[in-house]
Structure 1
Amino acid sequence: MAEKDLYNLSKIFYYFRERYYNQAYVTAHEGLKRFVNDGILQFYSALAQLMDVRLHESMRELEQLRNKPELTVATLLALIHAHKQHKTPDREAISEYEVKVKELRKQVDDTALFYAAHTLYIIGKADKATEYIERATKQNPTNVFAITLKGWILIANDIAKESKQYFDAALKLENNFPDAAFGYAKYREIRSNFSQALEYVNRILATKSDYLPAVLENMKLQLCMQDWEQCEDVAQRAFRIDSNCVEAHKYHYLYLLCKEGNYSDAQQAFSRLLQAIDISEPKGAWQYYEISQVVARVCGRNPQILQQSELLLQRALEIDSANPDYLIEGGYQALMANKMNEAIKFYKSAAKTQGENMAAVYGIIHCQILEGKYAEAKQQIEFQHEVQSGNAAELSHLRAILAKYENVLAPDQIVQLFDTAAEQHFKNLRGLPLGKKYLLCLNPDFILEIVREYLNNTTLKPIDSGQTLDPSLRKSSGILEQLTKAVPGLLEGLFLLAKVKYLSGDTNEAKNVLRRIIDQEATYSEAYILLAQVYTREGNTHLAYEALENGLSYNFDLKTHPMYHLIRARILKKEQKYEEACKLLQAALNLPGVKKQQQTETIKTPRTKTEQMISSVPISIQDRVSVYLELAEIQLLLNRVHEASILLQEASTEFQGTSEESRILLTNVDLALKRGDINQAIETLIQIKSDQAYYLQSREKLAEIYLKHRRDKKLYIKTYKELVDRDPTPQALVILGDAYMSIMEPEKAIEVYDAALRQNNRDITLMKKIGEAYIKTHAYTKAIKYYEAIVKAEPQSELRINLADLLSKLNQNDQAQRILDQLLKEEVQNTNFQHAQQVTKAYEIFANMFEQSKQFDETKKYLIRAKENQKKLLKRIQLEEGDIQKENQKLYCNICYRLATMYFDEHDYESAIKDLKEASAIDDRNLKIQMMLTKAYLNSEQYESCEQICTYMNKTFPNDNSVQI
């Protein structure tokens, strides 16, 4: 009997769950070779044909099985479903079967109830299957098939937490039942316990190493654990079992696209994937559709890959041309390819097939916006907003797009609409592990659109140290970190992340990301341009020029890109070669796309390969304005005030009414200051209203003029107070507090910081600022009392380190030691990250105290402990965000440097070199470390190593006099 072959039956069940209906049919037929005329296998064979839309064959086979007692109800339910699939259903037959089902279901045993429940589960009616499976398990609590199916039905009905007990019970009854093990693994996967899920899958493989369903589940779980490489290895293992394994081909294809970003190999992999589906699931419309959806969203709109996703979708539509989901996807992909008319046809066909399909309605509204039919789109959006409960991500997105193209709202209001869309979008990702569904819901294409909108509404000038980070940059960074973690091969995602890091002032992280891009795709010209910008920002004109030349070597057409001219000009400006820079920028102004740019297509048009190499991201309005403003600045440096004035007037006309208009006004302010016209500068800044982009920058500049040029501290503070009056957020209050600190009024700064803290009473950064303000006023007693009050309320607050540090500096070492001893006692019990950071700082404070008392051996001992602890901490945070890593790496390097200094003073040059090399491995651009390493090599007579470091420093720090000496 087939029921005895648990592995074969479980394989059939698995293929049904995964919608591989032809594979379920093939597996059932393989079983029939062993169990000839087995009714159960014949039934699953017929059911597989039914799900594969081979209606006539399935109905004929089902009719032959109706008289088998254990299958009577199941076959009737399958026949009802089959009749309903016909274009002209036989209502009389359906009615007759339904009456028989009602009559028989009360009479049959637990086995018949199981097959009935399983049939309903397979045809997508898990809710109706519940009644049957409940009765089956009550009749026979030891029916392992029924107990396992009950677990699967609970998962299908979103009650996964209750499923565990049934899979547990099934495995106790039959330890070698793969379907129950798969169920338990799925429960663990839903609970995000992937290692335990993998353990249960591997138990099956330990018994039967070539069992394909277990290999495929292992493959998926590797990706759940975010291990693309292991996922790919297991996919290759699946190919050795079945070269036409569709699921393995899907994951291999996604590996090349998402992890490697290798589109040329992906095109070859696509041919094998298509062939595999054609052979294994020739009528499996859903299999073509599912992978087409994912590919379209992760491919970065690569034209060749988009064509492949369209071909997959075409196959699905050839099999099931009236499926509204397939038609809607056709509309979505047509929009991606900028085929507006085709998109409208798809959406209208979907709406006609299924009138209440919201996705079709949203698609039509989207097309209306892109066609400029704003009134119609607005009316539809307002109607949908009224009738819908909640605020769907798609509807929020459409409202944002409409606001953008209507251009009737202020930029910050449009950004708020995109914020809402993004929040709704990311809500749908909660709890999903990395896999096909996650990638589909993540929709990288949508995320890139959101980020582009954020960047369109932020300044493209990198912030200086201590400046407040623009919220749009902060949001973009968080979104892109999540995106590039899931899809590390998406070049545009990485490029935008590098750009955001650069604008946020994090040049080291920007360079790291750009190097990843260049390692992955050496012809990505835009990366070289941005890398040159980063080096220019750091003052390293030699490496900036080298980056541009490297990009040029891969693609000579890069020379025609306006950004190439802009960066070259900035390099020349750094070198004070103003005339050459001026000529370059004048040439840039005449390049296509800089002046009087045609309205860009709303949809990002796929470009040719050459065009993609020249610019993976079209020149933005901010970069166009940058060409004008950079040229104006250079003309001012050349004292050509009149020419700069004419150019800025031209720019004002060119960009009137855009988000960049206020940025041009800011440069006009520099022009007025150059002329010594302070009043004109102030009047220009006052013109920039609170709803315009660059309003915050305008107020910061206005305050600076009041302070530096008017020497008027009252107006300086008044300007920042107006920011608080307009929007009394903690961020605005902190800016005002910082302003008070800059004019040496810490008492008032404390009042403002306190007000900010009342709005956010757990903000540790604010608490630190208040403590530092007390110290600035030399109110050390108040500072101590402030810190003590916080530590008393929260004994493990990280501010106890600040308290101990202050006490040690005031020579109150006994009190400082008590705090630090208590903190170090907690080390064994407390293993969290914040505590580990405090331990390093505690060792450092001990080292400082012993250094003050000239106990150098003790100083060294505690520095070594600090270093060892920090080294462990760095290993723990390898996968953390860049800022966290950077801060802790810097601390580690400082400790290494301090130790090396002590060894150096003791003439222990080998120990000094060891610590300096460890620091250099983390930060090879730290001049202080490189200089000391050179001296250590020199003093230890390691002249060759000394010369190598000198050569490196000359190349890396060409303008530093200390290096030359």
Structure 2
Amino acid sequence: DVQALVNYYARAGYGRHVQTVCGEALRSRPGDPTLSFWRAFGLILEGSYSEAIAQLESLMDRREISLACVAASIHAHKMARIVDEESVDALEDRMHREEGDANERALLACANFYALAGGPDSWRARAMAERALRMARGDGFDAKTLLGWIELTTEAAGGDDDDDLGLGAPPTPGGTTENDRARTQKAKRRFDDVLDTDEGEGHLEALMGRVKVMERLGQVAGALDALNRVAVIHPSFAPAVAEKAKMRMRAGDWDAALETAQGILERDPNNIDALRLHAFYLLGVEGNAAAGRAKIGQLTDALETLEGRNARLFVSCAQDLARVAGGTSNMLSALGKMLERARAIEPEDVAVLNEVAYQQQLAGNYAAAVGTYREAARVAEMDGTLDNLTSLYGTIHCQLLDGQLTEAAQQLEFLTDVASERGIKLVFLTALHAARVKGDVATPLAELEGLLADHMASVQRKPFAYDYFVHMDPDLLLQCAELYLSQESGEPRGKGEPMSPGMERA
């Protein structure tokens, strides 16, 4: 099912994969407007906005995807660094005129676009899909399934929390809020309405929706059962095998996860998901640095070949693997190639710059890290996103580690004034500064103890996935342990004496 492949890769943010799938399908269905539309959407995903707009303009007279083309063109214009306001106004006028007369098929295509694209207009997805369901003359399976997926995506569902159940972000079992849990149950009912019928029991999108619901509810066995059903009914749907490997990893069954990933690589040596899992296993489970570095090289080559414009994916892979790489220079050098590629694609992306700086910090290159953190802060200020204090936290941390205590003290005072709360990083930096200037370390360390307990509780609630250690932040925890140990007297304890409080906390 080509549309199911498009949806899967779009949810994963794999823009080039979307283009490849559509391009291959167009060989047997030349000129197909729906395939051409989704190929243009793949261009949007990888940031090729001008090229996408040109392709979309050539498709706008095709009734079944005209509305989606207008919506996608507006989205692409707004995503561009320089927005053509006149074109946006004209397209929004056209959208207003055509939406009322759109048929079921056109509404479904447009609703699916909004759900996959995200952004400020994604709320439109639900209203369009519900209208398409009311217009449906048959079973309405596609509309029901799309409404289920919309419930699993905060923006399209109109939610106000930060949880997003796209493939790139593993969910918290059971949900984090009542609203979140209610949406998960609504999605389950939508998928069940389709799958519990004779005609809809093999609906691929609904089956994959059931997988995500089971994952959301922490029911790994149920998710694996659904994936096995996909493999039986739709044996050509390769992503189901990659999802099975990741599900086994989340269950802690590393042997089965690795076996599944290796099976994928035998058929497809450049499969990004399988290479990523294998590299993560080599570093995080086996601790095999040499083999891990080699696998990182293969992953980097595969990313370059298959998703060469996907800065977000380069950064995500480098970020996750850096947290289990042990801070060794060889490993950080290998991951640095991913970050170099990401920075070449998006030279003024704050997330890219902050991760580059963080890995420079891990490597002990504090001067370079400070420079990159400051560049990230400059870009954030230009974009109006300076409220995210990641760059400032990183700058102060590097200054303290590099012995620039006066500069760090000034920045720390400013940070204390502007921060909305005394979180773990702020209190840690306060304690680290106190330790470096021989000040009062005991007070911030006492405050840090409670924050660390909350932090670890949050980590333990999180399902095991690639970003588990990003959330944990092992380097921060190690430095907290060093702070506690630095306050110990160094005198050995007698036999039978209890462990000192500082040692126990460390």
Whole-angstrom CA distance in 2 between matches of 1:90 and 1:102 = 19
TM-superposed CA distance for 1:47, in Å, is: 0.5
How far apart, in 2, do the equivalents of 1:461 and 1:199 lie? 57
What is the deviation of 1:293?
0.6
* RMSD of equivalent CA atoms: 2.3
Match of 2:410 among 376, 387, 391: 376
Partner of 1:423: 453
Aligned residue identity for 2:418: Q
Query: Which secondary structure does the structure 1 equivalent of 2:61 belong to?
Result: coil
Distance 2:500 2:126 in 1: 53
1:133 equivalent in structure 2:
129
Where does 1:155-174 land on structure 2 (aligned, <5 Å)? 155-157=152-154, 158=163, 159=180, 160-161=183-184, 162-172=186-196, 174=200
How far, CA to CA, are the matches of 1:143 and 1:238 in structure 2?
35
Please give the secondary structure, in 1, of the residue aligned with 2:90. Answer: helix
Shift of 1:231: 1.3
5+ long unaligned stretches in structure 2: 155-162, 164-179
Distance 2:501 2:134 in 1: 58
Match 1:322 to one of 337, 348, 351: 348
Task: Indicate if the aligned counterparts of 2:427 and 2:444 stay in contact, CA closer than 8 A.
Answer: no
Amino acid at match of 2:281: Y
Question: For the structure 1 residues 251 and 48, does the alpha-carbon distance in structure 2 shift closer, same or farther, using more than 3 Å as the test?
Answer: same
Instruction: Give the secondary-structure state (helix, strand or coil) at the position aligned to 1:78.
Output: helix
Supply the AA of the counterpart residue of 2:273. Answer: E
Map Cα deviations across residues 106-160 of structure 1 (whole Å, 9 max, x no partner).
Answer: 3323332222222222222344433333333344494322222222222221434
Question: Of 414, 435, 440, which aligns to 1:409?
Answer: 440
Give, in angstroms, the shift of residue 461 of structure 1. Answer: 6.6
| Residue of 66, 69, 73 corresponding to 1:72 | 66
TM-superposed deviation, 1:26: 0.7
What TM-score, normalized to structure 2? 0.86
Is this contact kept in 2: 1:16–1:48, CA < 8 A? yes
Q: Which amino acid aligns with 2:150?
A: I
**Equivalent pair of 2:18/2:39 in contact (CA under 8 Å):** yes
Mapped contact 2:409–2:433 kept (Cα < 8 A): no
Per-residue deviation, residues 183-225 of structure 1 (Å, max 9, x unmatched): 1111111221111111111111123445321011001001110
The answer to whether the 8 A contact 1:8-1:31 is kept is yes
**CA distance change for structure 1 residues 136 and 210 in 2, over 3 Å: closer, same or farther?**
closer
SS in 1 for 2:67: helix
Pairing partner for 1:393 from 424, 428, 439 = 424
Whole-angstrom distance in 1 between the partners of 2:357 and 2:260? 35
Q: Distance in 2 between matches of 1:179 and 1:116?
A: 17
Is residue 2:151 matched to residue 1:154? yes
Larger Rg: 1
The 1:378–1:60 alpha-carbon spacing in structure 2 relative to 1, beyond 3 Å, is closer
Partner of 1:211: 237
Paired residues of 1:365 and 1:381 also in contact (CA < 8 A): no
Amino acid at match of 1:132: M
Task: Please tell me whether residue 106 in structure 1 is matched to residue 138 in structure 2.
Answer: no
**SS of alignment partner, residue 364 of structure 2:** coil
Aligned residue runs from structure 1 range 821-860, under 5 A: none
Aligned 8 A contact 1:289 1:316 in 2: yes
* Aligned 1:182-261 pairs, distance under 5 A: 182-209=208-235, 211-261=237-287
Say which is worse superposed, 301-310 or 357-366, in terms of deviation.
357-366
Q: State the percentage of identical aligned residues.
A: 25
Aligned pair in 2 of structure 1 residues 275, 448: CA closer, same or farther (>3 Å)? same
Structure 1 alignment gaps of length 5 or more: 1-6, 477-965
Q: CA deviation at 1:427?
A: 5.0
Shift of the 203–457 alpha-carbon distance from structure 1 to 2, 3 Å rule, reads farther
Does the CA contact (< 8 Å) of 1:393 and 1:420 recur in 2? no
From the superposition, tell whether residues 407 and 241 of structure 1 become closer, same or farther in structure 2 (CA, over 3 Å): same
Matches within 5 A, 1:367-766: 367-370=398-401, 371-372=404-405, 373-385=407-419, 388=420, 390-410=421-441, 412-429=442-459, 431-458=461-488, 467-476=497-506
Equivalence for 1:836: none
Structure 1, residues 671-693: CA drift from partner, whole Å, max 9, x if none? xxxxxxxxxxxxxxxxxxxxxxx
Call closer, same or farther: CA 1:324–1:424 in 2, change over 3 Å: farther
Q: Is residue 204–residue 214 contact of structure 1 (8 Å, CA) maintained in 2?
A: yes
Cα 1:443–1:32 shift into 2, 3 Å: same
Mapped partners of 1:138, 1:430: distance in 2: 43
- Name the SS for the 1:117 alignment partner: helix
Q: Distance in 2 between matches of 1:276 and 1:63?
A: 32
Which one scores higher on RCO, CA 8 angstroms, separation ≥ 6?
2
CA distance in 1, matches of 2:411, 2:462: 33
- Spell out, residue by residue over 1:488-524, the C-alpha distance to the aligned partner (whole angstroms, 9 max, x if none): xxxxxxxxxxxxxxxxxxxxxxxxxxxxxxxxxxxxx
2:196 partner SS: helix
The 8 Å contact of residues 366 and 399 in structure 2, kept in 1 or not, is answered as: no
Return the letter of the residue paired with 1:46.
A
Q: For 1:416, what is the secondary structure of its paired residue? A: helix
Partners of 2:37 and 2:477 in 1: CA distance: 46
Kindly tell me: are residues 75 and 391 of structure 1, through their superposed partners in 2, closer, same or farther at Cα, counting changes over 3 Å? farther
Q: Which residue of 2 aligns with 1:687?
A: none
Distance 2:394 2:127 in 1: 39
| 1:177 maps to 2:203 | yes
Would you tell me which structure has more helix in proportion to its own residues? 1
Counterpart AA for 2:130: E
Matches of residues 868-907 of structure 1 in structure 2 within 5 Å?
A: none
C-alpha displacement of 1:320: 1.0
Q: Do the aligned partners of 2:396 and 2:408 also contact (CA within 8 Å) in 1?
A: no
Matched residue, 1:81: 75
Over residues 560-592 of structure 1, what are the superposed CA-to-partner deviations in whole Å (9 max), with x where a residue is unaligned? xxxxxxxxxxxxxxxxxxxxxxxxxxxxxxxxx
Whether the 8 Å CA contact 1:368–1:377 is kept in 2: the answer is no
Q: The residue matched to 1:354 in structure 2 has which SS?
A: helix
Secondary structure of the structure 1 residue equivalent to 2:467: helix
State the Cα distance separating 1:314 from its structure 2 match: 0.7
Matched letter for residue 152 of structure 1: W
